Structure formats: structure tokens, C-alpha cells
Amino acid sequence: MNITDQDIEHITNLGVTKEQVEQQFQILQEGIPFANLRSAATKGNGLIVLNTEKEKQLVQHYEDSKSAITPLKFTPASGAATRMFKFLFEFVEDYNPQDGSINAYINKKGVPELRLFFVGLESFPFYKRIRARIKDKYGKDGADINENRLRFVKIMLEEKELNFGKKPKGLFPFHEYKKHIATAFEEHLFEGALYATKDTVARLHFTISKEHQKRFSKRFDKRKDYIERKTGMTFDISYSYQDSATDTVAITKSNTLLRDEDGKIVFRPGGHGALINNLNEQDADIIFIKNIDNVVVNKYKTQVAYYKKMLAGKLLSLQARSFEYLKKIDNQSELLDSERMEIATFLEDDLFLRLPATFKKLENAAQTDLLRKLLDRPIRVCGMVKNEGEPGGGPFWVIHEDGTESLQIIESVQINPDNKEQQEILKNATHFNPVDIICGVKNYKGKKYDLLNYVDYKAGFIASKSYQGKKIKALEHPGLWNGAMAHWNTIFIEVPLVTFNPVKTVNDLLKPAHQVK
């Protein structure tokens, strides 16, 4: 790899170093090793399933603790809505009314999602708006239903029309109420008011694209009085952007650095794992993480909030015991054998950490040092839903290079597709990661951890992408809830499916959790 003086000037202006480029290039050349799974985390094997009484106790524990802590709701919201309409973009590109009906097109092309879209048309929150626009533009509907439906989709997607595919997903119309249409952004405000509060202030942080800052602020200003009146809360909302210094390089098919037509090295966004930097900048005692598209209509919000409080209660309970032990270690000159064994039991039974087989052979001081190291880390409690075939990550026991094991959220792309044993473990996984995470990011003295010290930088992703029509390999940082949190203490707890209602395609808005009636 040849880095010129011109390259160094270019990458320095972006906030990137030559060493970072060289390291990224090497990773792209050598590849990233697959995760080594020991087993899926299941009930009784790394995943907790609580009874109703215990859930209620944890919810109450969170409620009782709120006056002493500052919570924050952290929502990654930089994504555009483009992928929601993939099958509709293809329909506009391919369909010609002169060639036959839409039904014939659906049958020929095998596009059942298009059929569902048109069957549910009147249930979408944007239906009335587009119908009014069609009437203004074309007058009364023509007799041809196929032409009218094509017009409908074009008005949704075309750049000179509503251009829905370019909207940030957070500002897309999700839910139709009697007197207004709510965006995902607005629904997060209502939800956050139920649990991410101190006194009468709800604190929320959104990671967004810089170009959409004004649109988010404008939307909040428009709905602020209504939301505050309905919730009885005031809102402390902040925003951040994915730092360009976290962008990464890519390589061509011939394994050379990707460059543009002017010869400059091309940098691409490094994936949601780059947001560990944004998370690291937040000042809060506990942080609730949830994706922008995972919201519900009002009638389900109390139930969803209940499980957020339950997870938070579990975190605070475990954190309190960890802090108690850390204080004991720091304040006593030496621990008794029984005290060290008590802490070791807590680590293994409650924090699901695996002590090395040599632990009992270590000197007393070495045992204490290891116990302290394992206790004094950020902690996360992750809700997991039963697996119903959704694509994405799940909870697993992972064996590391040094032979130690830990609980991790692993994506399917991190698992060797050619290893039958590893694929069998994936196949037998019982739970799925809905991104429902509560984070404890301060130590017992109230000082923030530097979260960048707990990233497994070897656990990134190499993605197959395209650039100007040519295939490239792009590097993505370890995922925010994958390798970016690899060295946190991790707890998995089952939560019900009502907590997981993402909108990956526009048709997901037809599901009950997104329908007011």
C-alpha cells in the first residue's frame, strides 16, 4: 500500500491518521476471523427468564431508585427510509401498465409484499395525504386501477414529489391518530417520558445525520407543547452526528485501496459501531438504547415501558452488589478467603462470567486483582425476544483466543457459514436481539468509564458493497452492541415480543403494534 504526502494531507483533514488507514487496509486484506461459538445462550444457560413476581419487584426497584440516578434514552436515528421501499422502487422501475395488470406483474415476478401493500393501502398513515395529492394533480381518478396505483407509488417515491425514500426514518409518518400523524421520533418522546425521566424532565439523545438536524428540531418545536401537555414532562433533547473521523477505507477487487476519480482515498461511514464514540460522550448514570424504528402506538406504550423498567431494575440491582464488593476490595487491606469466594460466586452465578480454571491456584492477591478487574467494568442488561426467524443477531456463549468464555451478541455474518457445528449452534438459538439494552457506564465512585477501552477491535465486519458500479470490500467497526461492548459485563433477560416492533419495510406499518384502531 502506497500512502503519498497528498494522501496524508487528505486523511489528516478528515481527522484520520495514517496508522489507522494502514491498520484498516491490513484487516481488509487478511479478513476478520469468525466468532467461535460454544453454544447459544438459552434459558438456564446464560439467559434469564423471570416470573411475574420477580419482574414486578425489579420494576419497583427502578421506580424507588430513580430519585438518585440520572437516566438517558439513546436512540440511533441516522438511517434513511430507503430500504423500507426497496420492493416499491423495483416496482416503479419494472412495471408498465401497457404490459398487463399489477396482479399479473405480482404473479409473474413473485412479489407478495407488493400485493400486501396494495391490500393494506388505506391503513397506511400517509394514504389520505397521497390521495389528496393525486386528486390535485390529476383531478378525478381514472377508471384504470393499475394506473392509479402506479401514480400512488410514484408520488410516494419520486424526488420531485414526496421523496419518502430520502426521508430520515425517524421523521417518516408511522402512526395515524384521530387528529394527527405521528413520526417515530415523536413516539420515542412519548415512550421516553414513561421511564427516562428525573423529576419532571425526560432526557433523550438522538444520533442523526447532520443535514437533518434542522428537520428534527423543527418537528420537535411543532409538537413540543402537545407532547409536554400530554406527558406532564419537559424534554431535554440532544443530538450528535457520526464523526467523519470514524469513517473507514475500502479495497477494490484487486485488493488495492479504493480511490475516487481524482486519486483520493475513498472513506465510507464505518457502521453503527462508530456510535460507541457518541455513547461515550453521554453523561448519565444509566442509558436506555433502542433503535429509531422500534416503536408502538400509544395503547402499547405502558406495557413496553414496564419491561424497560424491569431491565433497568435488574441492572441497578446487579450494579449495587458490584459496587459493594469493589468498595470492600478497595477499603480492606486483604480479603478473607470466604469473601473472595463470595465475590467469585457472584461473578459466575449473577454476572455469568467464567473464571479461569487456574483461579483457585492463584495467590490471594492475584485472585483479588482478577476479581476486581472483572467487577470494575461497564455493565449492560439486554432484553432478548424468542426467535421467530428474524434476521440479525442473538445471544451466544463465545470462546475467545485465550480460551476464556463470555456472553456476546453475535450477528449471523460473524459465524462461519462453512462450519456445520457452528451453523448448528446458530440454528438452535432460541432468542433474538431486538436491541433493547440498558447500560451502566459509571464506576462506584460516579466516574464515567472510557467505553473505548472495552471494545474488541478485532470483531468488526467486512461488507460487500458497490462503488460506481464496481464491487468493493468495505470495513465496518465492531457493532455498537457487538464488538463495541465485547468487554462489558453482559446479562441477557427474556422480554416479550410486544417490545419488538421494528419497521424494516413499509408493510410492517400494517402490523397491530402500528395500527391505532
Q: Output the tens digit of pLDDT for each of the chain's 517 residues.
A: 788 888 888 999 888 888 889 899 999 998 899 999 999 999 999 999 999 999 999 999 999 999 999 999 999 998 888 889 999 999 999 999 888 999 999 999 999 999 999 999 999 999 999 999 988 888 765 568 898 999 999 999 999 999 999 889 999 999 999 999 999 999 999 999 999 999 999 999 999 999 999 999 999 999 999 999 999 999 999 999 988 888 999 999 888 999 998 889 999 888 889 999 999 999 999 999 999 999 999 999 999 999 999 999 999 999 999 999 999 999 998 999 999 999 999 999 999 999 998 999 999 999 999 999 999 999 999 999 998 776 668 999 999 988 889 999 999 989 999 999 999 999 989 999 999 999 999 999 999 999 999 999 888 888 888 888 889 999 999 999 999 999 999 999 999 999 999 999 999 999 999 999 8
pTM of the model: 0.94
Q: Which of 440, 352, 400, 478 is nearest to 41 (CA)?
A: 352
Cα(34)–Cα(415) distance, rounded to whole angstroms? Answer: 5
Under 8 Å CB-to-CB from 124, ≥6 apart: which residues? 176, 506, 509, 510
Cα(448)–Cα(295) distance, rounded to whole angstroms? Answer: 29
User: Rounded to a whole number, what is the largest CA-CA distance in the chain?
Assistant: 88
- Cα–chain-centroid distance for residue 448? 22
3-state SS, residue 364: helix
